[in-house]
Amino acid sequence: MPELRKDPIIGRWVIISTERGKRPTSFAPVPKRSQEVTLCPFCPGNESFTPPEIMAYRLPQTSPNRPGWKVRVISNKYPALVIEGHLNRAAKGLYDQMNGIGAHEVIIETADHARDLVDLSENEIRDVLWAFRERMLDLMRDSRFKYILIFKNQGEAAGASLEHAHSQLIATPIIPKRVTEELDGAKLYFQFKERCIFCDIIRQEMLEYERVVKDYDSFISFEPFASRFPFETWIIPKSHQSSFLEMSDSDYYSLAASMKDTMQRLRLALNDPAFNFILHTRPTSIESHEYFHWHIEIMPKVTKMAGFEWGSGFYINPTSPEEAAAYLRGIDVNAKVSHRTEATAGDV
């Protein structure tokens, strides 16, 4: 059973993972593997190498855990948190701990091993977003889960261990610190101004335009004023929506198109970089729809965290968001890009 432990000084929770446990000796260096052909557990035909599917969008008259699917959701084979059990929150001397209860799922975005999320059509990306929605709605019914975080790691430098296009979902028994910080900040602003801070940011960005990557129908993508990393890019609905689940059917298509265009620009600008994205939405325990505004944060991995960042929580960003935005605006999304250059993408 994984264990959740709370830092006694600053209150940060950490998952001490057992299912994906690494023995101390496993950190000894491993010789670089050659380009050996290994079986991809996410490819059609290999369904039996993964845990059974939780849901899938599949062709008529095909069976679960068999080929014929377009999007497939499974439990993570090495889950950070496990679904069975009770939290049993308890003290250990001055420390706090609880059992690592939660859900950890993988959303396989396409059956085609050769395509990344950005290569999918708008309709295919919309299906992936719709799978996010369905999984959130299902997991929200479990009262042990206080938050559902959807995220994607693409490329080795971003922490991906498998190449086949996928995103992940982790349901946690507490609202994570980063989400709480956003909720608290947005609430404080709302109490003072009686306006959503994200809506105010969108208005200022649209007016100044120097950090906007592109103004889509219902969304904009922009580089945040205090970007932590070069080319950090947010995608956010232009009208106020506190939750990903408040989108209309047509919004899902618009978001898919906005994501595809933004990811194409980033791929062309940075030569197919490793990246993470995360989806921040209102937790179900927060009843007020007024002050939070859901959004996607895309973080290309072109710099490294070093001692100063670890020690201070301060980030040093060597590229101004204005310069990054101007560069991304100028990208011709129809240009060709050479395929992923994994070895160099993350280590510039």
| b/e burial code for range 4-19 (CB count within 10 A of at least 16 → b) | bbbeeeeeebebeeee
Q: Which residues, in sequence order, are CB contacts of 77 under 8 Å at separation 6+?
A: 41, 50, 51
Does 238 help bind its own copies (rule: CB under 8 A)?
no
Binding to its own copies (CB under 8 A) within 57-96 occurs at 80, 92-95
- Active-site hit among 86, 104, 113, 166: 166
* Shortest separation between residue 16's beta carbon and its own copies, angstroms: 5
Catalytic residue list contains 166? yes
* Shortest separation between residue 129's beta carbon and its own copies, angstroms: 16
Does 283 help bind its own copies (rule: CB under 8 A)?
no
| Cα separation, 158 vs 160, whole angstroms | 6
Does 314 help bind its own copies (rule: CB under 8 A)?
yes
Identity (one letter) of the amino acid at 324? A
| Cα separation, 332 vs 330, whole angstroms | 7
Chain centroid to Cα 52, Å, comes to: 23
Select from 52-60, 83-91, 115-123, 182-190 the region that touches its own copies (CB under 8 A): 182-190
User: What are the structure tokens assigned to 212, written together?
Assistant: 């906007």
* Shortest separation between residue 305's beta carbon and its own copies, angstroms: 7
* Shortest separation between residue 261's beta carbon and its own copies, angstroms: 18
DSSP collapsed to 3 states, 107-129 = EECCCCCCCCHHHCCHHHHHHHH
Does 285 help bind its own copies (rule: CB under 8 A)?
no
Binding to its own copies (CB under 8 A) within 239-268 occurs at none
Does 273 help bind its own copies (rule: CB under 8 A)?
yes
**The one among 306, 332, 335, 336 contacting its own copies by CB under 8 A:** 306
| Cα separation, 276 vs 262, whole angstroms | 14
Does 327 help bind its own copies (rule: CB under 8 A)?
yes
Task: Give the residue with the Cβ less far from its own copies, 253 or 321.
Answer: 321
Does 189 help bind its own copies (rule: CB under 8 A)?
yes
Identity (one letter) of the amino acid at 255? L
Does 6 help bind its own copies (rule: CB under 8 A)?
yes
Residue 15 C-beta-side C-alpha neighbours within 13 Å:
21
Q: Hey, which residues are catalytic here?
A: 166
